Structure 1
Amino acid sequence: MVSFIDVVRGMDHDALARLFHARPDVASPSPGTLTSLAARVTSPGSIRLCLSTLSRPYLDVLEAVAILQSLHVSTDDDTIAHALDSHDVIGPRGPLTLRTLLDTLDALALTYPHNARGERRLAPGVADALGPFPAGFGPAAPEGYSGPTTKNDLISALSPAVQDDALTVITTLTWGPPIARVPRDLMTRTTLTPTHAALRELVACGALLTPEPGTVVLVRDLAFALRDHRTHRGLTPWPAHASSSLTPHPHTPAVTAPHTALTCATHALDTIRHLEHLLTELAHRPAATVRSGALAARELKRLSEALAQPPVTIARLLEVGYAARLLRRDDNEPHDIRPTLAAKSWLGHDTPTRFAELVTWWLASSRTTWTMIDDDGKVTSVVDPTRHDPWVSTTKQHLLTVMDAAGNGATRGLVDACLTWCTPRHTAPSDIITGILDEARFLGVVTDHVLLPGLAEHGPAQALTDALPQPVTQCIIQGDLTVLVPGLPDPSLDDLLTACADIDSRANATTGRFTSESIARAFDRGWSSESLLAQLTQVSVTGIPQPLDYLVRDVARRHGSIRVGGLASYVRLADDALVAAVRASPALRTAGLFELAPRVLGSALPVAHLVGSLRDAGFSVVVEDHAGAIVVADDVPVRGFIPVRAVARRGEAPEGLHGVGSEPVAAVAWAPVTEITDGQVEQHTQLARAVRAAEDASLSHGYGDSPRPEDQEGPGVSSESSSDPVDGNTGGGRSPHAHGRDGTKHLHEGAAVVGDHVLRLRDAIDSGMNVDIDLVDSHGQITTRTVRPLTLDSGRLRVLDPARDVELIIAVHRIVHVQETS
């Protein structure tokens, strides 16, 4: 037979590298030896974390092996296949064979080959992590059990009067859940219903166990026989495959890929356009924050009015900008929310690239933005720094990949079922999925629970490019001063209409209206009446209607009758000679100085920039406030764009998702062991070699075999002890094997010994057998006890001492040797 530690020690570098990649928690910090690695792999926390990433078929296989192993039935491949009643199952990417499932579980170190007959066993600790009722089975029969183990035995043990009712109860419990609530006085009450009478006989004959008063549970051995020696009714298939065979409701509208693509593209364009306007608004007038860092309520109202959008939309835009590093809170006073330098670059990109960057950073973001909107639709604490959780990013990617695999026509119920199939032991609550879907719909990533076509295959930039219809370069201007673009406007046409018309709607067609205010807005941007009419004439298929011509010329006649100039700073000088020197300085030609009054010059440069220019030109400068008091020039605030804080990979887009506009969104691995990149191969291989070398060194010194303490030389080793070494809170005793004979510590060797003890204890817990353990007390003396390990967690071992029939708690660091009872 092969033990689990032997399997771990026999792994080659490739197998260890794949294990480190699939279960990164066991690779950090680096394990000292393979023995300590095996102990880490079988720790309850690591096993629970690994099980939380497994899809339903993998858990089905583990439960089947656990049941067969507990009943001492063969666990070869054929027996496992019979227990599962299946050799393969339909997954989201095609069929998954039982061989693939078993090989993957071996690679994850959750199962391992046990002997030459091809039988498998669960790694220590896995059976306990699966829970008390794996596959709907109750506990195994206790020692000395003499109750029925087959259906014939059960019928023989029951009286004819209750057989029908008893079989009905047993049938209900056979496929789980195996536990039921019954009256606490079931065995003593005088008046019984037929069902209660059947339950009493089932308990009396041993078919049902009573773990506590008022509870009965079906014994595992009998349930296995009643299931015809099966643990499952087949492996659980991918829910979308099962639903695809159903006939859709005749009144359910068909969701086509072109419709989905167009709807997603419309949402994406709206978000990008509104975010551009928000960045422009915040560049001119940053938004104030409260002490907690969240946006002030009055600022949310101001931005909502400025952009003519509801507060919910403004809040989502701010969160999207934060996630994409386009906005952040200034580190300097007054801590306003401002655009970053990355926003400048983003504004210069084309629409697909902008969309790709937003999707990239949204997927990487861990912010729980849906929590800022309450049940009544009221927005509170926008961009609150505390609204984040580390698991949000993984949930987003998982959700989008599941939706891609579910295909068109997916419903919310189907999406939830697919998510549960992928990670049954770690499924996000419904409100979280709803919040993420709302965010994805706002970005244009999904619509009607269907993913943007091409997003997973080609990436967001190409997907949006394919979704956008052919741009329209001309419009229809009508006599009632309305304008219509029958389709998606070309960027130049869109800029023109945005500048001179009020846009009413943007969907399959763009509609707008020319007003005096919209025409004046175009003149404010530098247009003249002639240039504006010429541009509109080029793009209009109906020419320029007379009402529009009159409107443009009338607004142009009145526009600019009152003019206002800006003054960013001024210079006050002591005498006329200094004025002449400043105006004649070649270094100040770009400062744009002009005379406001005698010995007073004005400039369009900000104060800080003008002070720097004057000092560079060799003049002594001080800064004064509006009252003439001198202030420190370095304290003058500089408005505008601010630097971006470094995040993942020092400011680069997070890898593992997709590159901007090129690489596809990374799919969630349907098999837990995914492909390893070249860089990961090198990193994990180096770690595997280091652990292997440490293990070889440990074995060469004889520590890997964990010799018994009485075979060691040195003082303080005795087979008897006058004190009880069970209490782990006293000081002193450490395992003598953690030190060499010269008193020097050998950390790797000590870890190997402790790891070997832990593995043997977990084997004993799974098998329910007794072991002999040697314990060191606070005086360094050793005593041997025969115990039955029950649980092992957090450095504490709970055991049953059969000799005294008491339970004890033992500190693991006091155990120096473990071996099976002979």
Structure 2
Amino acid sequence: MTTTLADHLRSLPDEALGALLQLRPDLVMPVPADISALAVRAQSRVSVARALDALDQFTLQILDGVRLTRDPGDGTTSVEAVVAAAQGVDATATRAALDRLRARFLVYGPDSALHVVASVDEVCSPYPAGLGRPAAELESRTAALCADPARLRRTLLSAPPAARAVLDRLAEGPPVGTVSAAARTGTDGGESPVRWLVENGLLVPISDGEAALGGPADAVELPREVGLLLRRDCGPLGRLEPTAPAVAAVRRDPKSVDSAGAGQAMEAIRHTEALVEAVAAEPVPMLRSGGLGVRDLRRLSRITGLDERTAALLVEVAYAAGLLGETEVPGAGSRAGVDQQVMPTGGYDLWRMLPLAQRWEQLAASWLAMTRQPGLIGQRDERDRPISVLSAEAERAGAPSARRETLGVLAEQEPGAAPDVDDALRLLAWRAPRRGKGREPAQREALSEAALLGLIGLGALTAYGRLLVAEATAARELADDDPLGLRPGGEQSPNEPSAAVQALDALLPAPVDHVLVQADLTVVVPGPPEPELGAELELVAEPESAGGASVYRVTATSVRRALDAGYAADDLHTLFRRRSRTDVPQALTYLIDDVARKHGGLRAGSAGAYLRSDDEPLLAELLADRRLGLLSLRRLAPTVLATPYQLGRMLDALREAGYAPVPEDATGAAMLTRGRTRRAPARVSAAARMAATLTTPRLTGPRLLGVVEQIRRGDAAARAARRAPVTVRAANGHTATGLTAAQAHTQALAVLQQAVRDRALVWVGYVDAHGAIASRLVRPVSIGGGYLRAEDERTEMLHTFALHRVTAAVLDE
């Protein structure tokens, strides 16, 4: 008698069943009701495809060997047949691959009768091991040729060189090729090798080839027997690769790698801050179709001095880290009356106050977790439209796993080893050929992006990058051996920096709280400035160069900006004396005093707007200044001028002309305030969103045993449940003699009322909402309001039945 998968699962011990659930956790999401439901789910196309995606190339080749060696009669094979098909490979490696398949129940049964789960043939290629169908299924003439091995070999040896090249190509797989109808029939005026092969029965035309290809071409297929004959040297399964390909690597000094990566990490932080500041100065509008325009990306690239590819990557990372966000602004041209702009969020201000290592970690962790592929920006989508920054077309759900897998290969190397990129990609393709198909561009982009962000230095993974990748991997593989978090050291304190941050912090220069002021009014910061010092320099000086030691320059404009923000001349003198490790040059003192002496000499107000000054010659100079003719200034009093324009426009015009006005309020007090900084609503970073979704631990320990016990209990209840009594089946439409429908319904209500009082099990026949008839064994809980409420002990669920739909009820005996 044939053993089904459900019967095979029932015969397993709890440990083996738990191992299956651990390898294929999707089978218990949600937990199946019984073993039969588990078997059905294990054979579904989606679950089988997910299990196959995690297998390496050699295991998939052995699975093809199982499919290829099956008996056409009962569909089974044996371990010995699969081992024999894997020529040139140690039998131990083949049996280990079979064990991996059997552990996931893609293959099940004893060694002498292995079964393949039905959905495997639906998910995999229809040509196992790249071999075509048997000749008997293709054409009778070719079947007769293949039935005579000697004749088949003679025909194969007589093939012209061009025809033999076609056969060798199809023998490697797949066994199907396309050729134009003219070339196959020879009407193109030349001797076609495909025509010779078809005429001699070595290739078989496929009748539906033209319809499948949608054009004037035919498909031909290489029969399995011919393919096996051509593979006589390498074996039926072709060239097998039982071990992972080796990865060549260049050895570098680990300290040099970490130093190079740390320097690039500082550059990534600096460029990100420059980009966000450029967006803060001029918020970027969102396109109606989503994303940023090409002109805006070019503007940001030009302002920051970055190429467009790097600028696009950093904008995406900043958005994923929650430093940038959208906000709505009034827009007359939009349909809803509002437009969306991208601007910094409140999280950006908090990010700037963090130490450099923590700022880098937030960027790198968000890059690892974000479901976007910046390398697609600039390419064309399926509708031939360019993919823009922050657009929905750049979303790729597999991007995080591609980054983790790619960096995982680098993490497996010794510290300081820079692996060859092509070798690393070949290793990734061997480990998961189904999942990695089409991922090579994303994997190459992951390596280049990691180098731009400082995770990779000199082609090798840095020490702190290795720790960050390990933390990201551990976050996805949470074990529940300490579900309450009671184990000492099992949970990191929120205020304690991570290991990656500590490792990077040891490589970065210590933040400095002082500057070196030089005679040419340049201010040298010999290291990364502290957040407070950085905020002061941003206000009182203009940046000239950045890097390990940044340079600023004090100008009249920067001094006036500081005075506008509320600083007095004495405050600026004190600031430079306190921060400078060198003597403050006299030129800087004179500059501050000169600007401060002119600052506030003019007072502007909003009376259209007006100008007030005790310096009458200065007002006369304004009236005579031709650059201010557009303001239409007129004298209201010896010390007051007025203009019909608004205050802001008048202030801008005066400052462009070189004057230093100060606005005042209605009481005459000077209004010294910093410009208002607009921020978008706060956003959660991609790393935080991923951490929030990883709350489900792996199926290990007590949790796994509990799931197995629940499935066993449900299976036992399902097998113990008997068929509904004949009276219930008769009421549901089966042939039986007994009461009329009205009498059966009245009797059913009486039985249900008694069962409620006795808490007894009852077989209930009813008509569901779709008009289908069914029966269920339940324990009634209550009757009222026209409804019966009862508990199904098998599924532990509470069901509600409308009484007018109940057709029969019989106590369980």
1:417 maps to 426
The aligned counterpart of 1:818 is none
Identity of aligned residues (%): 21
Bigger RCO of structures 1 and 2 (CA < 8 A, at least 6 apart): 1
Confirm whether residue 689 of structure 1 aligns to residue 709 of structure 2. Answer: yes
2:401 aligned with 1:394, yes or no? yes
Q: Answer yes or no: is 1:532 the counterpart of 2:588.
A: no
Displacement of 1:68:
1.9
| Counterpart selection for 1:350 from 339, 349, 355 | 355
Task: Return the alpha-carbon distance in structure 1 between the equivalents of residues 722 and 686 of structure 2.
Answer: 45
Could you tell me how far apart the structure 2 residues matched to 1:649 and 1:4 are?
A: 41
Say if 2:181 is the partner of 1:176.
no
Q: In 2, distance between residues paired with 1:70 and 1:458?
A: 51
1:653-694: CA deviation from partner (whole Å, max 9, x where unpaired): 45669xxxxxxxxxxxxxxxxxx9566655555444333333
Shift in Å at residue 520 of structure 1? 3.9
For 2:54 and 2:585, locate their aligned partners in 1 and report how far apart those are by CA, in whole Å.
66
- In the TM superposition, 1:228-307 aligns within 5 A as 229-239=235-245, 241=246, 243=248, 257-277=254-274, 288-291=285-288, 294-295=291-292
* CA offsets 1:560-591 (integer angstroms, 9 cap, x no match): 2344699999xxxxxxxxxxxxxxxxxxxxxx
1:445 equivalent to 2:455? Answer yes
Q: Residues 604-644 of structure 1, C-alpha deviation per residue, up to 9 Å, x if partnerless?
A: 999xxxxxxxxxxxxxxxxxxxxxxxxxxxxxxx9755654
Name the aligned partner's letter for residue 53 of structure 1: A
Which deviates more from structure 2 when the two are superposed, residues 350-359 or residues 694-703?
A: 694-703
Residues 146, 226 of structure 2: 8 Å contact kept: yes
1:365 paired to 2:397: no
Alignment partners' CA distance in 2, 1:462 and 1:521: 44
> How many Å apart are 1:500 and its aligned residue?
7.3
Task: Rate the CA distance shift 1:85–1:533 in 2: closer, same or farther, 3 A.
Answer: farther
Aligned partner letter, 2:591: V
Preserved CA contact (<8 Å) 1:489 1:510: yes
Q: Which amino acid aligns with 1:516?
A: T
Tell me the matched-pair count: 622
Further displaced range: 517-526 or 461-470: 517-526
Cα distance in 2, alignment partners of residues 11 and 276 from structure 1: 59
* Cα distance in structure 2, aligned partners of 1:104 and 1:746: 41
Amino acid at match of 1:121: H
Tell me the residue number matched to 1:217. Answer: 221
Give SS of 1:328's match: strand
One-letter amino acid of the structure 2 residue matched with residue 234 of structure 1: L
CA distance in 2, matches of 1:735, 1:137: 50
Conserved? CA contact 1:410–1:450, under 8 Å: yes
Distance 1:559 1:78, change over 3 A: farther
Q: Does residue 715 in structure 1 map to residue 738 in structure 2?
A: no
CA distance in 2 between partners of 1:698 and 1:520 (Å): 83
Q: Structure 2 vs 1, CA of residues 696 and 385 (structure 1 numbering), >3 Å: closer, same or farther?
A: same
Please give the per-residue CA displacement for 1:193-248, whole angstroms capped at 9, x wherever unaligned: 69579635751xxx654444855433324544653654233325433x0656xxx9
1:456 aligns with 2:466: yes
Shift, 1:697, TM fit = 2.5
Q: CA deviation at 1:648?
A: 7.9
Please give the secondary structure, in 1, of the residue aligned with 2:136.
coil
Q: Which residue of 2 aligns with 1:428?
A: 438
Q: Distance in 2 between matches of 1:185 and 1:374?
A: 37
Is 1:110 equivalent to 2:106 in the alignment? yes
- After TM superposition, the structure 1 = structure 2 runs for residues 475-490 of structure 1, keeping only pairs within 5 Å, are none
Match for residue 61 of structure 1?
62
Closer, same or farther: CA 512–490 of 1 in aligned 2, 3 Å: closer
**Structure 1 residues 549, 648: CA separation in 2 closer, same or farther (over 3 Å shift)?**
closer
CA distance in 2, matches of 1:32, 1:389: 34
Letter in 2 for 1:451: L
Q: Which residue of structure 2 lines up, in the alignment, with residue 39 of structure 1?
A: 40
Q: Deviations over 1:350-382 (max 9, x none)?
A: 22222222222222211243444359xx99754
Aligned to 1:766: none
Q: Shift of residue 147 of structure 1?
A: 4.3
Distance of 1:220 and 1:2 partners within structure 2: 30
Could you tell me whether the CA contact under 8 Å between 2:366 and 2:686 is conserved in 1?
no
How far, CA to CA, are the matches of 2:529 and 2:421 in structure 1? Answer: 36
Q: Structure 2 stretches of 5 or more lacking a match?
A: 210-217, 331-337, 472-497, 607-663, 737-767, 779-787, 796-813
**Residues 350 and 182 of structure 1: is their aligned pair in 2 closer, same or farther, counting only changes over 3 Å?**
closer
Per the alignment, do residues 166 and 43 of structure 1 end up closer, same or farther by CA in structure 2, a change over 3 Å counting?
Answer: same
Q: 1:647 to 1:269 in 2, by over 3 A?
A: closer
Partner of 1:516: 555
SS of 2:372's partner is coil
Contact kept, 8 Å, 2:521 with 2:553, in 1: the verdict is yes
Task: Give the secondary structure class of the aligned counterpart of 1:560.
Answer: helix
Distance in 1 separating the partners of 2:771 and 2:147: 46
Letter in 1 for 2:50: L
Q: How far is 1:131 from its partner?
A: 0.8
The answer for the alignment partner of 1:154 in structure 2 is 152
TM-score (normalised: structure 1): 0.60
How far apart are the structure 1 equivalents of 2:735 and 2:603? 91
**AA aligned opposite 2:576:** L
Residues 247 and 424 of structure 2 are in contact (CA less than 8 Å); yes or no, is this contact kept in structure 1?
no
Structure 1: any 5+ residue segments left out of the alignment?
90-95, 249-253, 538-542, 570-594, 607-637, 658-675, 717-731, 751-822
Q: Secondary structure at the match of 1:561?
A: helix
Task: Give the aligned residue type for 2:238.
Answer: H
Q: 2 CA distance for matches of 1:557 and 1:651?
A: 52
Match for 1:373: what amino acid?
G
What is aligned with 1:815?
A: none
TM-score, structure 2 as length reference: 0.61
Task: Output the amino acid matched with 1:218.
Answer: L
CA distance, structure 2, for counterparts of residue 350 and residue 2 of structure 1: 64
Q: Does 1:558 align with 2:558?
A: no
Distance in 1 separating the partners of 2:179 and 2:272? 61
State how far apart, in whole Å, the 2-side matches of 1:75 and 1:238 are. Answer: 27
- For 1:679 and 1:5, the matched residues in 2 are separated by 21
